[in-house]
């Protein structure tokens, strides 16, 4: 009898659990000091220090619940939204594939497609290539998906290689490129003329992507046509906790096509 332990795909949320554990642990420590320390000034100081850590812990824990399948399932809902914007079904690239949730959803939606998922899978992330491969096998689509470790700032592909390029909450996390607009342009480099893209990221965060209008203008000048920009909160109803600027308050979807080059 075959091993039945791993019969369900494991898609982790975007929130890194070690961060939640760190902030939660610091909060508990400071609360312990506040309650059991005798000097009044130490109790006041630790109590004041505990407040921001408690707030962050609340945000992170509630976000995990809202993103998870056992909670609000918003990670899957956002991926559904991205998939709904995709029209092509041939050669698809997912940049920042994480634990494989989005790319596997695409594979199941477009059964004749060929797909590639890239991720850096760094040591401080809780995803892995092996996890993606196992999830794809469980979901019955492993024969059409190739997973590859690579950085989004330097994709190991030729120009014009893919019909569709998607990415979800990845560009802002790329550490080896200070200019995040260049990372977006790198994603567009591997997209065929006339090919389509759907990107969801914190594009309204000026500290990361600069001025929103300048970003959209730069993409149009780069050769993007039919550029659509939608604030995530306008196209998907979300609970207030997810609208926090530290979560998805700055999230926006960009979609469109690469301009066809002249012969």
Residue 230 lies in a domain: yes
Of 246, 237, 253, residue with least CA distance to 73: 237
Compute the distance between CA of residue 50 and CA of residue 158 in angstroms, rounded to an integer: 51
Mean pLDDT of 225-240: 93
Domain of 245, CATH number, reads 3.40.50.150
Residues 84 and 162 in one domain: yes
pLDDT at 6: 59
Task: Identify the sign of the CA torsion 85, 90, 94, 100.
Answer: positive
Compute the distance between CA of residue 103 and CA of residue 108 in angstroms, rounded to an integer: 9
Residues 126 and 242 in one domain: yes
Residues 99 and 185 in one domain: yes
Residue 11 lies in a domain: no
Tally the C-alpha atoms within 13 A of residue 195's C-alpha that lie toward its C-beta: 22
Residues 38 and 123 in one domain: no
Residue 47 lies in a domain: yes
Residues 161 and 107 in one domain: yes
Q: 77-95, pLDDT tens digit by residue?
A: 999 999 999 987 789 999 9
Q: 120-161, pLDDT tens digit by residue?
A: 987 666 788 999 999 999 999 999 999 999 999 999 999 999
Residues 112 and 174 in one domain: yes
Per-residue pLDDT band at 191 (split at 50, 70, 90): very high
Best-predicted range by mean pLDDT (7-11, 56-60, 106-110): 106-110
Residues 43 and 164 in one domain: no
Mean pLDDT of 183-207: 96
Per-residue pLDDT band at 29 (split at 50, 70, 90): confident
Mean pLDDT over each residue of the chain, to the nearest integer:
89
Residues 31 and 156 in one domain: no
Q: Which residue has the higher pLDDT, 63 or 170?
A: 170
Residues 250 and 137 in one domain: yes
Counting the structural domains of the chain, the total is 2
Compute the distance between CA of residue 68 and CA of residue 66 in angstroms, rounded to an integer: 6
Residue 17 and residue 67 in contact, taking contact as beta carbons nearer than 8 Å: no
Residue 3 lies in a domain: no
Identify the domain containing residue 60 by its residue range.
17-67
Residues 80 and 61 in one domain: no
Residues 47 and 63 in one domain: yes
């Amino acid at each position: 009898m075959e091993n039945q332990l791993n019969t369900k795909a494991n898609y982790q949320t975007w929130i890194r659990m070690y961060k939640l554990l760190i902030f939660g642990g610091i909060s508990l420590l400071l609360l312990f000091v506040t309650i059991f320390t005798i000097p009044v000034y130490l109790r006041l100081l630790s109590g004041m220090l505990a407040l921001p850590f408690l707030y962050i812990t609340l945000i992170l824990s509630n976000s995990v619940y809202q993103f998870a399948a056992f909670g609000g399932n918003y990670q899957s809902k956002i991926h559904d939204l991205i998939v709904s914007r995709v029209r092509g079904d041939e050669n698809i690239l997912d940049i920042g594939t994480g634990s494989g949730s989005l790319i596997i959803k695409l594979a199941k939606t477009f059964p004749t497609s060929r797909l590639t998922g890239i991720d850096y899978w760094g040591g401080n992330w809780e995803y892995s290539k092996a996890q993606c491969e196992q999830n794809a096998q469980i979901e019955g689509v492993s024969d059409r998906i190739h997973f590859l470790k690579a950085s989004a700032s330097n994709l190991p592909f030729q120009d014009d290689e893919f019909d569709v390029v998607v990415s979800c909450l990845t560009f802002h996390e790329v550490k080896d490129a200070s200019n995040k607009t260049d990372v977006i342009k790198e994603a567009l480099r591997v997209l065929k003329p006339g090919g389509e893209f759907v990107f969801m990221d914190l594009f309204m965060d000026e500290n990361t992507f600069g001025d929103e209008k300048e970003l959209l203008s730069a993409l149009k000048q780069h050769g993007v046509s039919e550029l659509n920009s939608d604030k995530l909160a306008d196209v998907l109803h979300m609970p207030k906790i997810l609208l926090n600027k530290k979560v998805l308050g700055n999230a926006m979807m960009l979609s469109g096509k690469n301009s066809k080059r002249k012969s």
